[in-house]
């Protein structure tokens, strides 16, 4: 009797009322607390926050966020207005300090996990079973990127709105009165999800399939029309606004999109493997350097477990697999097959919820509360996952750690070596920077950034002939490479080839009229050549761009310039 009472007390503490939500949140903050003190990784967060701080620091720019690309200085067709809005609000909390951004990431993840627990209960899973899968999701090592990497919040934020919209749809089906306010809430959250990430479009077929497979209550023709009309109007509005915001971005053809989808599709196996055997994680995974073995093992194990399970609900298994597939597929659609580089792990954040539903139909988990050994085994699995989580999270602590892991785990990606070379260069580790740039060159010989990186290394060492050679290679690879013209001009200047230096800087300005470094260099060059009229011209150009030259320089060209003007 005492054993029964003790078990009842434990169940009350961990499983009933609001207690499970508290435990989940406490576990999340305990696991991710150290990420509060992480820095920026310089993958997207630099462009979205640091380089864009003038924009995100003003609340008045919230409406403009809906009419702009998420990367303001890059022509990539990515539309994420609500992500930008969260950064605007975040800037009001902690400025440009990464602490508050990481705190918000953990907060969003906590909200998602509480919603996952509620949803699993609503799907008919036991409380212990639902708590296990929620903790499994909350500390899963493959989802670290969605929490520890600041831009990863886009997927967790998307999941908040998708789950909220889906829950409203589910409750609508379950109410006899078919409440209007649930229909309105469903569409409202669908709007928010779409303006977070285009993946949300998959919610439409998911809701339809849920009604067919699990709801067992087909919508009446009038109700179905009401939902489809709402989805259609919202999607059309989103497409129009998105098109306006992305005007000028480089586009893509249907052939390119389908080609990218075809090339990317094998990565599904790799994602599945990471769900159960997360032992080959990377901050920047590419298909070539990620094994398929774990994926095939997991597929075999799960298939066998489902086949052997007598209590399984085939409708839920089918729905879970469709959830996983529909929400993962949009991440495989890139601009073209040639631009398929990486398969970031934060993209499996929302899809993984579908796999939780599939796993929940396995008898081992359905009966876990009846066997002490099952509870112990599941507890050990969570401890192992927590340990892997803590270790993997360290790769996000700063930009050097991030790119060192990316180059180590994706050695066949020229981009990882290029970025790591830049981080080493910024840290003053020139020998290491040169080695990484050379690796990038070997992997991608027509990439001008790699040649330019080597040029900067040699320029920093004052090896001017080598620097000239690399900057020329960078320009040959891309004639519109204005930064390399600026740097090549600097090389010529140091070599005493002054006219050639000026020519390079002028070419850079022709390519980019607001190139501040070239304008400044030309102002100094003209002053040194005592061409003060030209020096004033470039100073005026700098002032138009909001750059004020040093007072001493202005005084020098101003005084001497007036003296020169007074001569006949």
| Average pLDDT for the chain | 90
Residue 465's H or E segment, with its range, is helix 464-477
Is the pLDDT confidence value at 128 over 70? yes
Count of CB atoms within 10 A of residue 533's CB?
11
Cβ atoms of 100 and 145 within 8 Å: the answer is no
- d(CA 4, CA 170) in angstroms, rounded, equals 36
Angstrom distance (rounded) from CA 546 to CA 202? 45
Residue 336, pLDDT above cutoff 70: no
* The pLDDT of residue 494: 95
Would you place residue 256 in the very low, low, confident or very high pLDDT band (cuts 50, 70, 90)?
confident
Residue 287, token pair as written in the block: 């298909």
Q: CB under 8 Å to 53, separation ≥6 — which residues?
A: 91, 96
pLDDT at 18: 79
Task: Give the pLDDT confidence score for residue 369 in this predicted structure.
Answer: 78
pLDDT at position 253 is 67
pLDDT tens-place string over residues 390-431:
999 999 999 999 999 999 999 999 999 999 999 999 999 999
Q: Say if residues 227 and 202 touch (Cβ distance below 8 Å).
A: no
Per-residue pLDDT, 449 = 93
**Residues 539, 568: contact at Cβ < 8 Å?**
no
Contact 80, 154 (CB under 8 A): yes
Nearest to 208 by CA among 192, 230, 179: 230
pLDDT at 88 over 80: yes
Reported confidence tier of residue 39, pLDDT bands at 50, 70, 90: very high
Residue 298 near residue 288, CB atoms below 8 Å:
no
Confidence of residue 366 (pLDDT cuts 50, 70, 90): confident
CA dist., res. 236 & res. 242, Å (int):
10
Give the residue, 19 or 272, on which the prediction is more confident. 272
**Euclidean distance between the first and the last CA atom of the chain, given in angstroms as a whole number:** 113
Q: What is the mean pLDDT of residues 108-112?
A: 98
Q: Name every residue whose Cβ is closer than 8 Å to that of residue 6 and which is 6 or more positions away in sequence.
A: none
- pLDDT category at 550 given cuts 50, 70, 90 is confident
As a whole number, mean pLDDT of residues 450-467 equals 96
Average pLDDT estimate for 299-306: 95
Whole-number percent of the chain with pLDDT over 90: 73
Give the confidence band of 72 by pLDDT, cuts at 50, 70, 90: confident
- Mean pLDDT is lowest, of 266-275, 301-310, 387-396, 553-562, for 553-562
Domains, the chain, with CATH or none:
2-396 (no CATH), 400-521 (1.25.40.10), 522-568 (no CATH)
For the chain, give the longest Cα–Cα distance: 113
């Amino acid at each position: 009797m005492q054993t029964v009472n003790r078990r009842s007390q434990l169940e009350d503490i961990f499983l009933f009322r609001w207690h499970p939500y508290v435990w989940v949140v406490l576990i999340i903050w305990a696991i991710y607390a150290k990420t509060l003190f992480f820095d920026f990784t310089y993958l997207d967060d630099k462009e979205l926050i640091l380089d864009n701080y003038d924009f995100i620091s003003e609340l008045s720019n919230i409406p403009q966020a809906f009419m702009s690309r998420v990367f303001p200085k890059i022509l990539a067709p990515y539309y994420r207005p609500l992500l930008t809005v969260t950064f605007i609000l975040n800037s009001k909390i902690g400025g440009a300090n990464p602490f508050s951004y990481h705190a918000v990431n953990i907060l969003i993840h906590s909200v998602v996990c509480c919603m996952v627990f509620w949803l699993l209960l609503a799907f008919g899973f036991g409380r212990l079973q639902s708590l296990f899968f929620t903790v499994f999701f909350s500390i899963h090592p493959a989802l670290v990127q969605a929490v520890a990497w600041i831009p990863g919040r886009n997927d967790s934020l998307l999941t908040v709105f998708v789950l909220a919209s889906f829950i409203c749809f589910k409750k609508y089906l379950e109410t006899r009165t078919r409440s209007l306010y649930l229909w309105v809430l469903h569409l409202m959250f669908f709007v928010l999800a779409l303006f977070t990430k285009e993946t949300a479009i998959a919610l439409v077929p998911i809701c339809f399939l849920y009604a067919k497979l699990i709801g067992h209550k087909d919508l009446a023709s009038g109700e179905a029309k009401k939902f489809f009309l709402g989805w259609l109007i919202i999607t059309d509005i989103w497409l129009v606004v998105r098109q306006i915001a992305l005007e000028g971005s480089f586009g893509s053809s249907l052939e390119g999109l389908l080609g990218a989808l075809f090339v990317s599709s094998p990565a599904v196996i790799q994602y599945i493997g990471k769900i159960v055997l997360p032992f080959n994680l990377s901050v920047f995974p590419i298909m070539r350097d990620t094994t398929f073995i774990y994926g095939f093992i997991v597929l075999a194990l799960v298939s066998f477990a489902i086949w052997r399970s007598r209590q399984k609900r085939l409708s839920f298994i089918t729905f879970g697999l469709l959830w996983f597939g529909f929400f993962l597929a949009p991440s495989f659609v890139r601009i073209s097959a040639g631009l398929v580089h990486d398969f970031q792990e934060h993209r499996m954040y929302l899809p993984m919820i579908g796999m939780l539903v599939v796993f929940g139909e396995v008898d081992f988990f359905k009966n876990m509360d009846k066997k002490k050994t099952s509870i112990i085994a599941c507890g050990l699995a969570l401890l192992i996952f927590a340990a892997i989580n803590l270790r993997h999270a360290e790769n996000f602590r700063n930009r050097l750690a991030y790119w060192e892991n990316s180059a180590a785990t994706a050695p066949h990606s020229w981009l990882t070596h290029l970025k790591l070379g830049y981080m080493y260069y910024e840290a003053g580790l020139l020998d290491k920077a040169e080695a990484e740039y050379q690796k990038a060159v070997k992997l991608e010989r027509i990439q001008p950034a790699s040649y330019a990186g080597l040029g900067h290394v040699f320029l920093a060492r004052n090896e001017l002939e080598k620097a000239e050679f690399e900057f020329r290679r960078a320009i040959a690879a891309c004639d519109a490479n204005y930064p390399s013209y600026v740097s090549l001009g600097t090389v010529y200047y140091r070599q005493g080839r002054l006219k050639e230096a000026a020519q390079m800087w002028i070419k850079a300005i022709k390519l980019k009229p607001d190139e501040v470094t070239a304008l400044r260099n030309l102002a100094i060059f003209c002053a040194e050549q005592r061409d003060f009229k030209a020096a004033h011209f470039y100073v005026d150009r700098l002032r138009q761009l909001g750059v004020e030259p040093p007072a001493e320089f202005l005084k020098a060209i101003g005084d001497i310039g007036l003296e020169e003007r007074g001569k006949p």
